[in-house]
């Protein structure tokens, strides 16, 4: 197909394009094959579109505020040498698919340090962004700090409610390091965000070093009940810390 050249507006040469077996035409002092020229244009449009998509993806990734350390963390570079890791990867990828279908289900990843929880969460976020959905990565401690900043009387146009409402809007909110620095009052603020997301039918991924029992206890009966309402996936990560080299 040639949509870029009008037949008859260029005179033919005696040269034949080896690739397309078409007569080349005179154009701008050159002899060119219309099909080759058209293909080049398609390729350049394709490249342009690819570059635009990449730019948009990178912009949204930086807006999601994932840790710089996890800029390269993806599902495909998450190694699965144990059954537990393979399951964690599979559950995370399945969760992303459910979110793409606009399901409100929640996700909990608990377990020991260096097991790849943040890695998988960031990989999930990138896939969510690729689907054109909005996501935000934040630690539990930062949520509390953001809300507390709104209490400051100098914080113009901000109220506790408006900050919570911003957190309630993302298609997926990833709350990492739950319980790490949350003393009672701070935990309460994180809980307010969880309640708001429940009320707005929005899915949340919650990550913690707590045991599942302690996390359940910390959330309390009312939140635990709500967190499960539309389906909850729980992944417990209790394998070797990838940060620690074995010493022999």
Residue 119 engages ligand ATP in binding (rule: CB under 6 A): yes
3-class secondary structure, 244? coil
Least distance to ligand ATP, CB of residue 93, Å = 14
Which of ligand ATP, Mg ion, Zn ion, none binds 242 (CB below 5-8 Å, type-dependent)? ligand ATP
Sheet holding 135-139, edge to edge: 135-139, 172-178, 204-208, 106-111, 232-237
125-158: b (≥16 Cβ within 10 Å) or e = bbbbbeeebebbbbbbbbbbebbeeeeeeeeeeb
Strand partners, 105: none
Which of Mg ion, Zn ion, ligand ATP, none binds 114 (CB below 5-8 Å, type-dependent)? ligand ATP
Token pair, residue 196, equals: 């708001």
Least distance to ligand ATP, CB of residue 115, Å = 4
Residue 35 engages Zn ion in binding (rule: CB under 5 A): yes
Give Cβ neighbours of residue 235 (< 8 Å, ≥ 6 apart): 87, 88, 91, 92, 107, 108, 109, 110, 111
Segment contacting Zn ion by CB under 5 A, of 9-17, 92-100, 142-150, 208-216: 9-17
Exposed, middle or buried, 28 (CB in 10 Å: 0-12/13-18/19+)?
Answer: exposed
Tell me the C-alpha distance between 193 and 200, whole Å.
10
Rounded to 10 degrees, the C-alpha dihedral 51/57/63/66 comes to -120
Residue 208 engages Mg ion in binding (rule: CB under 5 A): no
Among residues 87 and 112, whose Cβ is nearest to Mg ion? 112
Rounded to 10 degrees, the C-alpha dihedral 61/66/70/73 comes to -50
Exposed, middle or buried, 238 (CB in 10 Å: 0-12/13-18/19+)?
Answer: exposed
Which of Mg ion, ligand ATP, Zn ion, none binds 84 (CB below 5-8 Å, type-dependent)? none
Least distance to Mg ion, CB of residue 176, Å = 6
Residue 209 engages ligand ATP in binding (rule: CB under 6 A): yes
Residue 118 engages Mg ion in binding (rule: CB under 5 A): yes
**One residue of 15, 27, 36, 212 binding Zn ion per CB under 5 A:** 36
Residue 180 engages Zn ion in binding (rule: CB under 5 A): no
Segment contacting Mg ion by CB under 5 A, of 6-14, 38-46, 118-126, 148-156: 118-126
**One residue of 157, 243, 244, 247 binding ligand ATP per CB under 6 A:** 243
Residue 115 engages ligand ATP in binding (rule: CB under 6 A): yes
Per CB under 6 A, residues contacting ligand ATP are: 73, 77-79, 85, 113-119, 209, 242-243
Point out which residues bind Zn ion (CB under 5 A): 17, 19-20, 33, 35-36
């Amino acid at each position: 197909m040639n949509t870029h050249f009008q037949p008859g507006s260029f005179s033919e040469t005696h040269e034949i394009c080896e690739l397309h077996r078409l007569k080349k035409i005179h154009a701008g002092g050159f002899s060119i094959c219309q099909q080759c020229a058209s293909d080049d244009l398609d390729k350049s449009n394709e490249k342009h579109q690819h570059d635009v998509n990449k730019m948009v993806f990178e912009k949204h990734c930086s807006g999601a505020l994932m840790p710089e350390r996890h800029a390269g963390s993806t599902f495909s570079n998450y190694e699965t040498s144990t059954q537990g890791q393979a399951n964690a990867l599979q559950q995370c990828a399945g969760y992303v698919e459910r979110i793409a279908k606009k399901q409100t289900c929640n996700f909990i990843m608990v377990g020991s340090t260096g097991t790849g929880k943040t890695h998988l969460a960031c990989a999930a976020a990138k896939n969510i962004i690729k689907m054109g959905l909005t996501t935000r990565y934040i630690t539990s401690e930062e949520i509390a700090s953001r809300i507390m900043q709104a209490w400051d009387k100098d914080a113009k146009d901000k109220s506790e409610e408006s900050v919570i409402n911003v957190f309630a809007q993302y298609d997926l909110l990833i709350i990492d390091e739950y319980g790490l620095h949350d003393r009672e009052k701070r935990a309460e603020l994180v809980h307010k965000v969880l309640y708001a997301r429940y009320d707005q039918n929005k899915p949340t991924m919650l990550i913690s070093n707590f045991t599942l029992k302690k996390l359940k206890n910390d959330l309390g009966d009312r939140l635990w009940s709500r967190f499960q309402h539309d389906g909850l996936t729980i992944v417990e990560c209790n394998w070797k810390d990838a940060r620690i080299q074995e010493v022999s």
